[in-house]
């Protein structure tokens, strides 16, 4: 299966997308990692040149929309150290277990994030990856493997499994071989992909494993069966070094400039998760208690039973010209009314952007919403 359209319109900080409400820039954050100063810089750019909000994406990235001066935003992103490569900016798509190295997991995959990011940026061939191709690094807890990224690692008791499109390939790697294996897969994908943007669109993904000496590619059960869908880590989280991380769900992934400024004022490392939430890390207990008291009234959610954790939406109107409704407003209304149970994703048209791995998708119609046809 392959797509006929070969134009990669995936936005970046330099190649922006012209949306109905102005230009949209997407800033890649490998591993979702972000400093307080970087968040502050993005918030300032959104306030001066954009819509006044930051959008957290389902891949742990950040978007600024409604941009009036794209060059000014790109300059601000670069000045914050978030644009290390003009040629590879859209292919630095790396998601990692957000709490890795701080709480839980079998190993700390953060050093792999840095090594993989460096390897991708310094490989000229990998500038040819589609902007949608992404890598996942799961530290063994089974959170990000369930996202079915194109090429992934999953730490296990018998070594590190190499995953393709969320499926275990049977290849087992040593920690020293992990990053090289992902680069090998990505290079081969660039060479064989044709018009395919994702590994799942290849007729025969086994072609990506020819460098691993396997006669046959026999994928095991889909990752979804092995790894239940991850949920955002929310609330008070004790780190293994006796510090505290605070996990905050961000309703519909929309962070206001004011929220971002208060978060940045804590002056702690942050992680944007692929569930459109964030972690504020490495806090002393006293600082964490104060931060909770300040951030919760601003609208960030620290209750893991909150309905906000189950409801997501595409941008909808007025940001997207294809939308039949202001789906964010409708989703927010549904949360407030408590009318639906389970995971629900509201979309303005059948394209179903940002659709999560699991849950119901409701698509806007002229007189309400209906389930998306399979
Ligand atoms: S799902 Fe449709 S309406 Fe929503 S952002 Fe995508 S294209 Fe626009």
Q: Indicate if ligand 1 lies below 6 Å from the C-beta of 351.
A: yes
Q: Indicate if ligand 1 lies below 6 Å from the C-beta of 325.
A: no
Residues 155 and 166 in one domain: yes
Pocket test for ligand 1, best of 9, 24, 55, 315 (most atoms within 8 A of CB): 315
Contact between residue 277 and residue 259 where contact means Cβ atoms under 8 Å apart: no
Residues 112 and 214 in one domain: yes
Distance 66 CA to ligand 1 centre (A): 16
Q: Is the pLDDT of residue 326 over 90?
A: yes
> For ligand 1, atom 2, which residue shows the shortest CA distance?
349
Residues 222 and 204 in one domain: yes
Nearest Cα to 281, choosing from 63, 101, 76? Answer: 101
Distance 227 CA to ligand 1 centre (A): 28
Say which DSSP state 209 is in: G
Residues 48 and 168 in one domain: no
Which of 230, 259, 278 is where one domain is finished?
230
**pLDDT single digits (tens) 197-249:** 999 999 888 889 887 765 444 444 334 346 677 889 999 999 999 999 999 99
Q: Which ligand 1 atom is the nearest neighbour of the CA of 363?
A: 1
The pLDDT of residue 213: 62
**pLDDT single digits (tens) 49-108:** 999 999 999 999 999 999 999 999 999 999 999 999 999 999 999 999 999 999 999 999
- C-alpha 3/C-alpha 236 separation (Å) is 44
Q: Indicate if ligand 1 lies below 6 Å from the C-beta of 352.
A: yes
Tell how strand 159-164 and strand 167-173 pair up.
antiparallel
Residues 25-50 have a mean pLDDT of: 98
Which of 166, 197, 230 is where one domain is finished?
230
Residues 277 and 353 in one domain: no
Cβ neighbours, 10 Å, residue 240: 12
Q: Indicate if ligand 1 lies below 6 Å from the C-beta of 331.
A: no
Q: Indicate if ligand 1 lies below 6 Å from the C-beta of 315.
A: yes
Pocket test for ligand 1, best of 347, 350, 355 (most atoms within 8 A of CB): 347
**Residues near 8 by beta carbon (within 8 Å), at least 6 away in sequence:** 90, 130, 131, 132, 197
Residues 41 and 117 in one domain: no
The pLDDT of residue 354: 87
- C-alpha 133/C-alpha 151 separation (Å) is 8
Q: Is the pLDDT of residue 272 over 60?
A: yes
Q: Is the pLDDT of residue 1 over 60?
A: no
Mean pLDDT of the chain: 92
Q: Which tokens in the block code for residue 95?
A: 């998601």
Distance 350 CA to ligand 1 centre (A): 8
Q: Which ligand 1 atom is the nearest neighbour of the CA of 348?
A: 3
Residues 122 and 170 in one domain: yes
Q: Which ligand 1 atom is the nearest neighbour of the CA of 349?
A: 2
Assign residue 187 the CATH number of its domain: 3.30.413.10
Cβ neighbours, 10 Å, residue 157: 6
Q: Indicate if ligand 1 lies below 6 Å from the C-beta of 20.
A: no
Q: Indicate if ligand 1 lies below 6 Å from the C-beta of 313.
A: no
Residues 301-313 have a mean pLDDT of: 94
The pLDDT of residue 185: 96
Distance 286 CA to ligand 1 centre (A): 42
Nearest Cα to 236, choosing from 225, 246, 226? Answer: 246
Provide the residue range defining the domain that includes 45. Answer: 1-83+234-307
Q: How many domains does the chain have?
A: 3
Which of 291, 307, 323 is where one domain is finished?
307
Residues 270 and 341 in one domain: no
Q: Indicate if ligand 1 lies below 6 Å from the C-beta of 19.
A: no
Distance 37 CA to ligand 1 centre (A): 32
The pLDDT of residue 341: 75
Nearest Cα to 110, choosing from 92, 137, 85? Answer: 137
Distance 301 CA to ligand 1 centre (A): 25
- C-alpha 26/C-alpha 50 separation (Å) is 12
Residues 331 and 354 in one domain: yes
Pocket test for ligand 1, best of 19, 353, 362, 372 (most atoms within 8 A of CB): 353
User: Can you give the pTM of this predicted structure?
Assistant: 0.93
Distance 362 CA to ligand 1 centre (A): 12
Residues 111 and 178 in one domain: yes
Assign residue 263 the CATH number of its domain: 3.90.480.10
Pocket test for ligand 1, best of 323, 356, 373 (most atoms within 8 A of CB): 323
Residues 243 and 323 in one domain: no
Residues 78 and 97 in one domain: no
Which residue intervals of the chain are DSSP H helices? 36-49, 70-79, 110-121, 178-192, 223-226, 257-265, 285-295, 327-337
Distance 329 CA to ligand 1 centre (A): 14
Q: Which tokens in the block code for residue 156?
A: 């296990």
Distance 368 CA to ligand 1 centre (A): 16
Q: Which tokens in the block code for residue 294?
A: 């300040």
């Amino acid at each position: 299966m392959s797509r006929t359209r070969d134009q990669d319109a995936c936005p970046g900080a330099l190649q922006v997308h012209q949306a109905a409400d102005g230009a949209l820039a997407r800033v890649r954050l490998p591993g979702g990692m972000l400093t307080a100063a970087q968040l502050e810089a993005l918030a300032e750019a959104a306030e001066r040149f954009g819509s006044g909000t930051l959008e957290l994406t389902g891949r742990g990235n950040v978007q600024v929309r409604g941009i009036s001066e794209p060059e000014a935003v790109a300059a601000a992103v670069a000045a914050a150290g978030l644009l290390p490569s003009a040629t590879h900016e859209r292919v630095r798509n790396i998601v990692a277990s957000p709490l890795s190295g701080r709480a839980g997991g079998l190993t700390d995959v953060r050093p792999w994030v840095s090594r993989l990011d460096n390897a991708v940026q310094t490989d000229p061939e990998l500038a040819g990856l589609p902007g949608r191709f992404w890598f996942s690094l799961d530290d063994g807890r089974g959170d990000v493997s369930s996202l079915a990224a194109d090429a992934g690692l999953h730490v296990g008791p018998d070594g590190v499994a190499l995953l393709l499109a969320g499926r275990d390939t049977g290849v087992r790697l040593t920690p020293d071989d992990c990053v090289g294996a992902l680069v090998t897969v990505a290079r081969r994908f660039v060479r064989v992909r044709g018009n395919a943007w994702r590994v799942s669109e290849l007729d025969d993904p086994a072609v990506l494993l020819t460098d691993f000496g396997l006669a046959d590619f026999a994928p095991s059960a889909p990752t979804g069966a092995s790894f239940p869908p991850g949920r955002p880590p929310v609330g008070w989280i004790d780190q293994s070094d006796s510090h505290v991380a605070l996990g905050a769900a961000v309703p519909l992934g929309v962070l206001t400039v004011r929220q971002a400024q208060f978060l940045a004022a804590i002056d702690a490392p942050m992680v944007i998760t692929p569930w459109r939430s964030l972690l504020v890390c490495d806090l002393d207990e006293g600082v964490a208690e104060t931060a909770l008291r300040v951030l919760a009234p601003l609208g960030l959610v620290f209750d893991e039973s909150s309905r906000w954790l189950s409801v997501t939406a595409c941008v909808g109107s007025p940001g997207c010209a294809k939308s039949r409704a202001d789906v964010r407003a409708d989703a927010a209304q549904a949360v407030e009314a408590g009318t639906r149970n389970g995971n629900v994703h509201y979309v303005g048209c059948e394209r179903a952007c940002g659709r999560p791995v699991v849950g119901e998708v409701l698509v806007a119609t002229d007189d309400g919403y209906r389930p998306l046809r399979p």
